[in-house]
Structure formats: structure tokens, C-alpha cells
Amino acid sequence: MYNVLFLTDRGARHQEAALRAAPAELKVTILRTPSFAEMLPELARADFIISERNQPVTAEMIAAAPNLKLIVRLGSLDYDIDRAAAAARNIQVVVQPVLGTLYCAEHALMMILACLKRLGRSLHAALHTAAPFSPQRGDEDTFSFNWLNFEDIGTLFGKTVSIVGMGEIGVELARLLRPFRLKAVLYNKRKPYPNHVEAELGAQFATLEECLRHADVLVSLLPYAPTTDYALGGGL
């Protein structure tokens, strides 16, 4: 039996799902955003630490875990895990991106492109037989990327995308946006990421007001709370 300390900021439903999925040979203790004092008894027993999203693993925590063999980050950022302290103890650190997060980021990119390219209108025209023109065979001199003659098709090139609520989904979206050669990716969250993380993502922290003012495309990834309920179109 291995003792696993699972650190998360998520609620009861997600915690119960994690416990149901755990193999029988693991004894899992879940703590929600605990203080160091609250972690101490579990750190003393822990063989593995699973850190979800924004739960740091510090040198102090590692020193308090004499049996620790493995640290797993559920997410794609590990800047708040003390890798040097782990390496000094030969403790392996594994970063495991969350598949659902990747799905959401890809879906957000799909929606951005669909809006800019007027995909709904284009599909409607393509799926209906009636068209205001006759088909024309293409060759090297006869082609059209805008055969419906839309005058409002856009591109991501040179645009500013603002991400409000820059958690794991926003991080993955910023990574997906890099090849599009944007003017800027702005983001807002309670606490900015370190400079080296911003450089990796090609993203820049901005105030909420700056994000709204400069955005050509606004992506809201705000978690639900009474303060964010109906915020878009209301308070924002």
C-alpha cells in the first residue's frame, strides 16, 4: 500500500471522482488548498504527491516528506514545484497535461476561427443546393477561397486575443495560438505568471480593463462564482 497526498483546489464532486478512479493499492488523502501545518501529518507518510493545477510543492514540503518518491503535477505548468529540491533527493517530477483541458482549449480555438471565418454562414450556403452562381471548375489560374464573396471574413494574424481567467485552459489556448502570429496575447488572472512562463506562452499580463480595451477577440474562462455570474454583458 502506497500513501498518496492529493493536493487540489477543486470541490467535493471532483474529489470523489478522483477517489473512485484510484487503484486499490493506493491510499489517497485529498486536501483542498491546505496550509503547511495541515499537510505536515500527511507529508510525513506520503510516498507520492499529486499536485493539481495551482497547488505548489515547495522545498519545505519535500523536506517534510522523508518517504517521498514521486511528484505528479496534473496540468502543464510546473514552475511552482521546487525541482532542485526534488532532484537533490532523487525524487522524480512528472508533468501530466489534463486531456479535458486540451479538449476545451482546442474547442475555444475552433470557435474563434469559426467566428472569424463566418463558418456558420458558410456551412449554411454549402449545405443548401440553391446558390446565386453556377459551379466553376478550378485550375491554377481559377480559384477562390471566398467563393461566397463575404466581405467580413477575418484572420487571427496581427490580432490581439485577450484571455480572462488564465488557468490551465487558457495556458493551453495560448500555446495553440502561437503559430498564428498574433499582435499580442493578453491575459488576466488574480496573480501573474512568472516572466519565464509568460515568455514560454507568448502571453502578457494585463489588467481586466486593458484586456477588454485592446481585445480583437475576447475569451472568457472565468470560473463560476457569485462575483462572475452574468459578469459578461453585465459587470464587464
202-224 pLDDT, tens digit per residue, is 999 999 999 999 999 999 998 87
83: which residues sit within 8 A by CB, 6+ positions away?
Answer: 93
Backbone CA torsion sign across 94, 100, 106, 112 = negative
Cα–Cα dist 48/43, whole Å? 9
Query: Do the beta carbons of residue 218 and residue 212 sit within 8 Å?
Result: yes
- 226 pLDDT band, cuts 50/70/90, is confident
**Termini Cα distance of the chain:** 50
> What pLDDT is attached to residue 140?
83
3-state secondary structure (DSSP) of residue 23: coil
CB 156 within 8 A of CB 89: no
Q: How many CB atoms lie within 10 A of CB 222?
A: 17
**Residue 131, pLDDT score:** 63
Identify the pLDDT of residue 147. Answer: 74
The pLDDT > 90 percentage for the chain reads 73
pLDDT at 235: 56
**Domain at 2-96, CATH homologous superfamily:** NAD(P)-binding Rossmann-like Domain (3.40.50.720)
Question: Which residues belong to CATH 3.40.50.720 in the chain?
Answer: 2-96, 101-127+154-225
- Superfamily (CATH) of domain 101-127+154-225: NAD(P)-binding Rossmann-like Domain (3.40.50.720)
Which pLDDT value is given to residue 156? 97
Which helix H or strand E contains 180, and what residues bound it? none
For residue range 111-141, what is the model confidence (pLDDT) as tens digits? 999 999 998 888 887 777 666 667 677 788 8
Q: Residues of 32-52 as b/e, b for ≥16 C-beta within 10 angstroms?
A: beeeeeebeebbebbbbbbbb
Residue 221 is predicted with a pLDDT of: 94
Strands 48-52 and 70-74: parallel
Contact assessment for residue 55 and residue 73, using Cβ atoms and an 8 Å cutoff? no
